[in-house]
Amino acid sequence: MPIQWFPGHMNSARRKAAETLADVDVVIEVVDSRLPEASSNPMIDELRRFRQRPCLKLLNKSDLADPVATRAWLDAYNARPNVKAVAMCAHKAGDVARVPGLCRTLAPHRDDNTKPLRMMVMGIPNVGKSTLVNALVKRKVAAVGDEPAVTKSQQRIVLGPGLVLIDTPGLMWPRIEHDSDGYMLAASHAIGRNAVREEEVAVFLADILLTRYPAALAARYRFETSNMDGAGVLETVARKRGCVVRGRPGEYDLEKAAMILLTDYRSGALGRVSLETPDSRRAMLAAAMEATAG
φ and ψ at 92, to 5 degrees?
-100, 120
Average pLDDT over residues 66-91: 97
Residue 154's pLDDT is 79
Task: Give the pLDDT confidence score for residue 149 in this predicted structure.
Answer: 45
Delimit the CATH 1.10.1580.10 region(s) of the chain. 197-289
Q: Which residues pair with 57 in a beta bridge?
A: 29, 85
Mean pLDDT value of segment 252-264: 96
Is 9-167 a domain of CATH 1.10.230.10?
no
Please state, for a pLDDT cut of 90, what percent of the chain lies above it: 66
- Are the CB atoms for 217 and 210 separated by under 8 Å? yes
Residue 148 confidence (pLDDT)? 46
Q: Look at 232 and 292; give whichever has higher pLDDT.
A: 232
Q: Taking the model in full, what pTM does it have?
A: 0.90
pLDDT band at 209 (very low <50, low <70, confident <90, very high): very high
- CB-based contacts of 212-217 (< 8 A; 24+ apart in sequence): 212/273, 212/274, 213/270, 213/271, 213/273, 216/270, 216/271, 216/273, 217/270
pLDDT over 70 at 21, yes or no: yes
> Which tens digit of pLDDT belongs to each residue from 42-69?
989 988 988 899 999 999 999 999 999 9
CA distances from 24 to 19, 44, 50 (A): 10, 13, 13
pLDDT of residue 194: 74
* Average predicted confidence (pLDDT) for the chain: 89
C-beta separation of 48 from 26 below 8 A: no
Between 26 and 47, where is the model more confident?
A: 26
CATH 3.40.50.300 domain residues, the chain? 9-167
What confidence score (pLDDT) does residue 135 get? 94
- Evaluate if residue 150 carries a pLDDT over 60: no
Looking at domain 197-289, its CATH class is mainly alpha
Compare 221 and 20 and report the one with higher pLDDT.
Answer: 221
Rounded Cα distance between 146 and 85, Å, is 25
- First-to-last alpha carbon distance for the chain, in angstroms, is 21
The pLDDT, as a whole number, for residue 57 is 98
pLDDT above 50 for 228: yes
Mean pLDDT is lowest, of 13-22, 110-119, 141-150, 224-233, for 141-150
